[in-house]
A and B are shown apart, each in its own frame.
Chain A
């Protein structure tokens, strides 16, 4: 598994060599473009991450967890997964911290541990992707992107519980 990334790098560089391309010069040109990319996304990321951090620190999400937990339990979802499910679309780093929290307290092979694993593996940070991609080209009218993304996240939560129940217990 650990060979994949170096292998990709080698294949790219040596295909370049065989096609008589000045690989290092071209690499540097590309890397400079990368630096420009970073510059374009800087304002977007600072704006987004600050507002997400404010939201997380305000306790609003904990409050939401308290409301949703009894509902989730009635549907057969373990309570431990609720905070991860809520934070997952909003904050990648935050939900990873909660995931590790579940691993530490219940173990990665527990029912909840397996569910949060599947959840983390099958979703991305929706808000991050939406703000980053549209923010970078200055589009504010994103139409139904967020609805479709969140519908996928909700589906992923439901199916991570279902698949773990069916195949992993």
Chain B
């Protein structure tokens, strides 16, 4: 499916650029897009390495086990085939706590490790498991408790109450997350 989506995006770009007279900017974007991907990667190397290092310390000193314990009652319900003492579960709970604290760049390497573990649980097969779908779906929703960057932008552009949107953000996040989990679960049932 990923193959088709990717190909389809470029096909749409090609066709609409012809109809909308944007062929030149699309042609430029092939180069600028690849370049800006590398720029993005470069700009996150520092943060990703730093938090990976921090997490290694947290891991060795047992902090991560403690965090995993806190989340395990909820997470064992969402992830049916993951043992609660496994490495996969530990990475999942760490990823989620990093997301809650708004450390998106710390959450990414943890999430990638979680996916690797989930794949090995599934004997490295090439199809997504229910648990992988659930995990990625959780990461497509925002779990961040205090959207600090957003509030910083609001205050920079003259908001009188930059934080007043937070209760609405929470309510919206919870509803959106519930919908995501329900849709994911419904599909699991259909398959089973």
Contact = CB atoms under 8 A, between A and B. Distances in A.
Q: 6 nearest interchain CB pairs?
A: A30-B56, A34-B52, A53-B33, A152-B180, A50-B33, A34-B49
B153 A99 contact: yes
Contacts of A148: 133, 137, 140, 180-181, 183-184, 187
A49 B34 contact: yes
A142 interface: yes
Given A47-B6, A58-B13, A148-B181, 13 more contacts: A5-B103, A13-B57, A34-B45, A58-B26, A60-B13, A89-B140, A118-B172, A123-B176, A124-B140, A139-B127, A143-B1, A145-B184, A168-B168
A141 B108 CA distance: 21
A146 B58 CA distance: 33
Contacts of A16: 57-58, 60-61
A1 B148 contact: yes
Interface residues of A, number: 101
B81 interface: no
Interface string B26-58: 101110111011101100110011111111111
Contact of A156 (B9, B26, B115, B172): B172
28 contacts: A12-B61, A19-B62, A34-B109, A37-B48, A38-B48, A49-B33, A58-B22, A60-B16, A108-B154, A108-B159, A122-B141, A123-B141, A123-B142, A126-B140, A129-B139, A129-B140, A133-B135, A139-B2, A144-B183, A148-B137, A148-B181, A151-B180, A152-B137, A152-B141, A152-B180, A155-B176, A168-B164, A168-B168
Given A46-B37, A124-B141, A155-B175, A28 B12 contact: no
A30 B59 CA distance: 10
A117 B146 CA distance: 12
Interface string B119-163: 100000011100011011101111010111010011001111110
B142 A51 contact: no
Contacts of B142: 121-124
B171 A144 contact: no
Contact of A37 (B40, B109, B148): B109
* Chain B interface helix/strand/loop/mixed: helix
Contacts of B148: 1
Chain B interface extent, by class:
35 or more
A151 B37 CA distance: 27
Contact of B52 (A37, A63, A123, A130): A37
B72 interface: no
Nearest to A136: B112
Contacts of B38: 42, 46
Nearest to B183: A148
B20 interface: yes
Interface in A103-142: 103-104, 107-109, 113-114, 117-126, 129-142
A58 B33 contact: no
B41 A53 contact: no
Interface string A74-98: 0000000000000001000100100
